[in-house]
Structure 1
């Protein structure tokens, strides 16, 4: 797969404040990259450097094998971008703004645009000054999804959308993926990222603390198991990969956590005790996120108090 986005050891300082210290990302053709972290961790600053809005203090950001700062005009011809808070021309209607955005990007209003307007339920006859935040987001999303771009960048794009429109957004992203398009999705809504993304990068206080395929991340975390057996369980808690083994109030019922790479051995052991009921809950992205963020409470607190615009 071709590399669409290549960010290496990116740094950004605002005076004495180090907003980004070490950000490394890669996005390939047909891939959806989830870029997650709390407000203030450095997501938007990274995206603004990728867009050529800010100049990096160190490191490198290449898009389509071009430097993001030096070739930002050429790069913008091939990407679509939606920020988390969209500002529109107040006296133009939603329909007029969609058409204007498309023309500015050298795209046309097509049947796909009309279909998107219908799916998102946008009244295009209203002026932008009368729109809610959610409707302003819809205008930008419709224009972005209507464009035939190679790279789509979404920075907290569903802010203000209702749950039904969040589903529409997710379906549109999955359609882009099927078309071989590349998507960078910045979000703090973990369930949203988990449904769509192939690769996850977690940023913490201006530094990428982990980046790998979602499936690989899930394999590194623990499954939660609740099991009822006919025979008493003996020796299970001593097996490798078993944690927090507890007896339940119900007879012959136990709860424990097990590392994914030891699950097969544990299941073999359970089978010898004659399983009557078994519930195995796989790890979620939220479990993984909390695992990394709670590993250092002091740094988590620093993230929380970081400036919201970073």
Structure 2
């Protein structure tokens, strides 16, 4: 097996001292392989940005270690940064400078002789680089950050909430860019609380909450869970007692009834449901796989639903 691009062992970080000490990350063991888009998923405050800052040696851990391309992130940070494209969650650039001059400056720092790829990225993202940063909207500032992170075609991209502020069309363009990076054999480490984004482009996802790693799974496996949503539409009024019978079946939950329609969550076989609706004329029966958000809440329980709605 190829050497991991990112590997952490027991990575731990706390802020503050004494009674005010807060554990931001605890015993993180994570392995990311070459050529994958890895989603780092969790609500704000889960520890995602702390992890990224530790990987980039912006802050130091209290315990544990991390390597990128087999090199210690602390002792080899200068060399590693040359191979990384980084987009922070909050991008602070020179407000009075034009974007094209900022791109030129970054190109010179990186020893790039040709910035045509940066121009191509700007065109695809519909970013006018003749404007000053202060005149940009939040979304356009994000686009500039994406250009700066991708322009030197780094071996590893570390992106913190990359699509924040982008409209849906630009999110699709971003997704295509990430697929192209993967096709080149390069690696993406992407933190997000936008569940649909992670579901659309990632190969694997880690679920983080309160500084602790809850799960690491492939998107395919994570979304292949043992429940689905079933919606049944009847031609006539729902037969008397059928709703109660469906609600009481083993494996059904979250039952709701609206006019001639019934919706429920089903775990297990369909046969009991089919038998229960045998007396009604069904015009439509729809089965939906759960969204990644619903799977996420299944990991954390109902207590997380309100938190996710507030933090997303």
TM-score, normalization: structure 1? 0.83
Please give the secondary structure, in 2, of the residue aligned with 1:280.
Answer: strand
Where does residue 308 of structure 1 map in the other structure? none
Q: CA deviation at 1:240?
A: 6.2
Match of 1:255 among 242, 257, 263: 263
5+ residue gaps, structure 1, are 306-310
Where does residue 286 of structure 2 map in the other structure? 279
Match of 2:296 among 289, 301, 305: 289
Distance 1:284 1:8 in 2: 31
Per mean C-alpha deviation after superposition, the further-off stretch among 266-275 and 93-102 is 266-275
Distance 1:149 1:179 in 2: 11
Where does residue 127 of structure 2 map in the other structure? 122
Report matched runs for 1:91-170 at 5 Å.
Answer: 91-170=96-175
The alpha-carbon distance between structure 1 residues 215 and 191, as it changes in their structure 2 partners (threshold 3 A), is: same
The alpha-carbon distance between structure 1 residues 174 and 105, as it changes in their structure 2 partners (threshold 3 A), is: same
Contact 1:221 1:288 in 2 (8 A): no
Q: CA deviation at 1:239?
A: 7.2
Please give the secondary structure, in 2, of the residue aligned with 1:84.
Answer: coil
Distance 1:255 1:161 in 2: 34
Q: CA deviation at 1:205?
A: 1.0
Alignment coverage as a number of residue pairs: 297
Distance 1:144 1:209 in 2: 29
Distance 1:61 1:240 in 2: 46
Q: CA deviation at 1:197?
A: 0.9
Where does residue 14 of structure 1 map in the other structure? 15
CA RMSD of aligned residues (A): 3.1
Please give the secondary structure, in 1, of the residue aligned with 2:61.
Answer: coil
Match of 1:53 among 51, 54, 58: 58
Where does residue 253 of structure 2 map in the other structure? 243
Distance 1:221 1:284 in 2: 13
The alpha-carbon distance between structure 1 residues 65 and 247, as it changes in their structure 2 partners (threshold 3 A), is: same
Residues 15-64 of structure 1: CA deviation (Å, up to 9, x unaligned): 33222123222211111111111211111111000111111111221111
Contact 2:249 2:272 in 1 (8 A): no
Distance 1:140 1:168 in 2: 14
Distance 2:124 2:155 in 1: 23
5+ residue gaps, structure 2, are none
Please give the secondary structure, in 1, of the residue aligned with 2:79.
Answer: helix
Distance 1:188 1:90 in 2: 28
Q: CA deviation at 1:175?
A: 1.3
Distance 1:84 1:284 in 2: 25
Per mean C-alpha deviation after superposition, the further-off stretch among 46-55 and 157-166 is 157-166
Q: Does 1:214 align with 2:219?
A: yes
Please give the secondary structure, in 2, of the residue aligned with 1:118.
Answer: helix
